[in-house]
Amino acid sequence: MKLNELSHYYGDLKAVDEISLEVQKGEIIGLVGPNGAGKTTTIKMIAHILRPDNGEILIRNKHGELQNLFKNPRNLIQRGFLIDIPEFYKMTPYQLLKYFAKLANYPKEKIDERIDELLKMFNLFEWKYKTVDKFSKGMKQKLGLIQAVIHDPEIIILDEPQTGLDPKARIEVRAFIKDMKSQGKTIFVASHLLHEISEVCDKVALLNRGQVIAFDTIENLETNLKTNELIVQILESLDSEKIEPIIKQLIQNLDPYLAKDVDPNIAPRPVKYDPISKEFILYYDGKKRSRAEILKILFSQFNSEFTISLFSQPKSSQLERIYEELIKDKTPISQKNSVKRGVI
């Protein structure tokens, strides 16, 4: 799929400003940005709900050729959409899903089996013949996800797929998205829940005021960070009188790998301790080798002071900080350097 200089106006407001993206088959792409960044407008254009004022959307047709969605929408590969906060007529899941499957020309003899498979996957099978007006918000959201994939599309576009879901259902949806990827599906996920984006996406498009300011893997985007963060969770809380001496010793022993110019708005020095979560937060130089050396030193030189229960780099907070620093810079990163050749 390609988006070429895609733009859309609402009156005088340019909601999407010459967005260009090139996406490979089988990738999960996250669209990230605050309200008004252009995420939903972009998705609705891909869904053929809104027309672009400028630019084009190219999608592969059944012959393997790229085709302009708005000039000729026929014979394109199948797409599925979940638009934020789905609503349905007063029908049963069976009636609704059968209608959508037929609408997408899914093989008639396989429809009932497909409906049962997906309802069981999302724990809605016992509600198969109940009317949707009895559903909770989370149940409607899961039904919306099923509707988006009932016809087994090759491209899946999801706008805030985790809305209204409890923690268990969010885990199920993440697993479902990863399973779709393993089948070679290409998936767009627009969300403000950065943890969900960081858990499932291969690449992230950061949007601001209708423009893509960066498009790359989270790992590559991290090179823009001035400060990188590591979390060291310990098993038992430290006595208050031990905290300061241990922090000073950590700074001294880890000095070659710690950040030299920590933003004072983030922390006054490169190591701090949170007694509530029982975590040390280390601000380091961001190198993989440094992470390995830090872990080695912690185990060999601080084993008598504390026991490590978790050593990690928090992806969601990293993504937040990447976005914040790029917004401050206000200079869009060239997408051409971060996009591999090959489209779907």
User: What angle do the packed helices 93-103 and 111-121 form, to 10 degrees?
Assistant: 130
Q: Domain residue spans in the chain?
A: 2-222+321-337, 236-306
Confidence at residue 164, expressed as pLDDT on a 0 to 100 scale: 82
Confidence at residue 337, expressed as pLDDT on a 0 to 100 scale: 41
Residue 158: which of 139, 135, 142 has the closest Cα?
142
Confidence at residue 332, expressed as pLDDT on a 0 to 100 scale: 47
Confidence at residue 87, expressed as pLDDT on a 0 to 100 scale: 80
What is the length of the chain?
Answer: 344
Confidence at residue 317, expressed as pLDDT on a 0 to 100 scale: 62
At the second CATH level, the architecture of 2-222+321-337 is: 3-Layer(aba) Sandwich (3.40)
Confidence at residue 221, expressed as pLDDT on a 0 to 100 scale: 79
For the chain (344 residues), the mean pLDDT of every run of 10, in chain order, is 94 93 92 86 90 94 90 90 82 95 94 96 95 91 94 93 86 90 92 78 90 86 72 94 96 94 82 94 90 96 95 73 67 41 39
Q: Sheet containing 308-312: which strands, arranged edge to edge?
A: 271-274, 279-284, 228-234, 308-312
What is the enclosing helix (H) or strand (E) of 187? strand 186-190
Q: Which long-range contacts (CB under 8 A, 24 or more apart) does 162-167 make?
A: 162/191, 162/193, 162/196, 163/84, 163/85, 163/137, 164/136, 164/137, 164/138, 164/140, 165/138, 165/141, 166/138
Handedness of CA 38, 182, 153, 102 (dihedral sign): negative
Is 122:179 a contact under the CB 8 Å cutoff?
no
